[in-house]
A = this chain, B = another copy of it.
Amino acid sequence: MELVEIGRVESPLKERGSAPKQGDGGAPDAWLAFEAGFATALDGIAAGDELLLLTWLDRAHRDVLRVHPRGDVSRPEQGVFNTRSPDRPNPIGLHRVTVLAIEGARVQVSGLEALDGTPVIDVKPVLGGIAER
């Protein structure tokens, strides 16, 4: 099960310590720079669309199985599968974003908490108008 990088995040967020926990925590707009060969797979996506973006959180720790939710040590430890911690066996980030602009194989999105340079691994439409982060 080997992932291919379909693109990369371009963001002012450079370090893990500076990133908000979720996209609604003051995350900045960002660009998704897709590999040219995948541009055709973006056909139909338009400004204003809501997307689910899957990323590979390459600075996460894959051997962590339990964490304090949101890093708050006053809260009891939980299994990582009951949290959104980036530290988990397969560090896949799931982000709900809104498309602001499209320029060829570059897509600008709002409120993305992923760090600069994070690999993009998939993009999916939000179904039925139901939202998710």
Instruction: Compute how far the CA of A56 lies from the CA of B1 in the bound complex, rounded to whole angstroms.
Output: 8
B41, B84, B127: which contacts A133 (Cβ < 8 A)? Answer: B127
Question: Cβ of A22 and Cβ of B121 under 8 Å apart?
Answer: no
Question: Cβ of B119 and Cβ of A43 under 8 Å apart?
Answer: no
A interface residue count range (under 10 / 10 to 19 / 20 to 34 / 35 or more): 35 or more
Question: Cβ of A54 and Cβ of B132 under 8 Å apart?
Answer: no
Knowing A38-B65, A82-B125 are in contact, say whether A90-B3 is a contact too (CB < 8 A): yes
Chain B residues whose CB sits within 8 angstroms of the CB of A94 once the complex forms: 52, 54, 94, 124
Question: Cβ of B78 and Cβ of A121 under 8 Å apart?
Answer: no
A108-124 vs B, CB cutoff 8 Å, 1 = contact: the mask equals: 00000000000101111
B42, B88, B125: which contacts A41 (Cβ < 8 A)? Answer: B88
Chain B residues whose CB sits within 8 angstroms of the CB of A17 once the complex forms: none
Is A71 part of the binding interface, using a Cβ–Cβ cutoff of 8 Å?
no
Question: Cβ of A123 and Cβ of B41 under 8 Å apart?
Answer: no
